[in-house]
């Protein structure tokens, strides 16, 4: 495996990982208002993707998503006694999703994705230039 | 004639290898731009030479007037070097800095390729019969 191929493999693994991260952030946003059906049922708990370095074939240091863990932050509480999920005091537990945090995470994932894409473009251009030697 | 062994082409080939390796390291850094605790790596072409110099320098003994001094670029070393900022999770990759380095490497790579091409042109010119 040439170094340029290795660069492509690393960038591709980065793009994959950022896509998963983006998906998890989208799931969090989608479930920002998912509450339980009754007071005993927990509302949606925010998920956090875990990224880690991994060695791909050819000794390339890539990245992968090891999995996702639940955010242990406390749930938001809202006073709404008529809600079926309200407790005795009239409070409903809402998911611990913070839109601002999710948006920031998405921005970061997009930025990293684009950087990986640029890297692929650069590696491709370098190979093309090298192949040009054959043409002239 | 072995083109790869001609000093001019050999030097450029080594340079291209080195730049390709550097580009690979930068790609790995960018892939790990959100990995907690990851510190970027880079190629330090001068690290090997510095290490040699610190040792007082290692030279091949030349015991005969016909012996030649070794040439070629010194082997580059992979070094771990944090960028200007480290996030709270210990990630020390700054995308902007890595992007600049990638562009720099790409430009150097293309320069080396252009020089290689010029060398081939020279050879072609030399092999053409005069007057044609």
- Taking only the tens place, the pLDDT of each residue in A77-124 is 999 999 999 999 999 999 999 999 999 999 999 999 999 999 999 999
Burial class (CB in 10 A: 0-12, 13-18, 19+), B63: exposed
The owner of tokens 């000794």 is A59
Smallest CA–CA distance from A51 into chain B, residue? B35
**CA pair distance B31, B38, nearest whole angstrom:** 10
Q: Are A14 and A112 in contact (CB under 8 A)?
A: yes
Residue of B nearest to A133 (CA): B117
Q: Which two tokens stand for residue B19?
A: 């730049």
What values do phi and psi take at B112, rounded to 5? -60, -40
Determine contact: A56 vs chain B, CB below 8 A.
no
Q: Is A22 touching B (CB cutoff 8 A)?
A: no
Smallest Cα–Cα separation from A4: which of B1, B105, B70? Answer: B105
| Contact status, residue A66 vs residue A52, Cβ threshold 8 Å | yes
Degrees (nearest 5) of the Cα angle A31, A36, A38? Answer: 165
* pLDDT at B1 (0 to 100): 63
Rounded CA separation A20/B56 (Å): 51
A2–B30 C-beta distance less than 8 A: no
Structure tokens at A123: 């590696």
CA distance A90 to chain B (A): 38
| Buried-exposed string B36-59: b where 16+ CB fall within 10 A, e elsewhere | eebbbbbbbeebebeeeeeeeeee
Q: Say yes or no for a CB contact (<8 Å) between A112 and B28.
A: no
Average pLDDT, chain B: 84
**Interchain CB contact of A115 with B (< 8 Å):** yes
pLDDT digits (tens, 9 = 90+) for A1-12: 789 999 999 999
Interface of A with B in 70-99 (CB under 8 A): none
Report the residue count for chain A.
Answer: 136
B30 contacts A3? CB cut-off 8 A? no
Bigger pLDDT: B71 vs A90: A90
């Amino acid at each position: 495996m040439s170094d340029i191929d290795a660069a492509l493999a690393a960038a591709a693994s980065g793009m994959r990982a950022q896509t998963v991260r983006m998906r998890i952030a989208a799931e969090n946003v989608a479930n920002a208002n998912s509450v339980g059906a009754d007071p005993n049922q927990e509302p949606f708990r925010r998920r956090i993707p875990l990224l880690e370095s991994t060695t791909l074939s050819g000794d390339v240091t890539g990245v992968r998503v090891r999995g996702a863990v639940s955010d242990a932050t406390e749930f938001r509480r809202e006073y709404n006694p008529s809600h079926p999920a309200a407790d005795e005091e009239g409070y409903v537990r809402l998911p611990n999703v913070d839109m601002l945090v999710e948006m920031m995470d998405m921005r970061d994932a997009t930025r990293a994705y684009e950087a990986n894409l640029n890297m692929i473009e650069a590696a491709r251009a370098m190979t093309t230039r090298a192949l040009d030697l054959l043409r002239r | 004639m072995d083109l790869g062994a001609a000093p001019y082409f050999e030097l450029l080939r080594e340079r291209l290898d080195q730049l390709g390796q550097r580009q690979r390291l930068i790609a790995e850094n960018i892939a790990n731009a959100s990995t907690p605790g990851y510190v970027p790596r880079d190629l330090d072409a001068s690290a090997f030479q510095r290490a040699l110099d610190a040792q007082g320098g290692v030279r091949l003994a030349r015991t005969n007037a016909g012996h030649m001094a070794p040439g070629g670029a010194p082997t580059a070393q992979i070094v771990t070097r944090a960028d200007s900022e480290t996030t709270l999770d210990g990630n020390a990759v700054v995308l902007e800095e890595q992007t600049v380095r990638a562009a720099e490497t790409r430009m150097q790579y293309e320069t080396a390729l252009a020089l290689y091409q010029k060398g081939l042109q020279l050879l072609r010119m030399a092999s053409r019969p005069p007057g044609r």
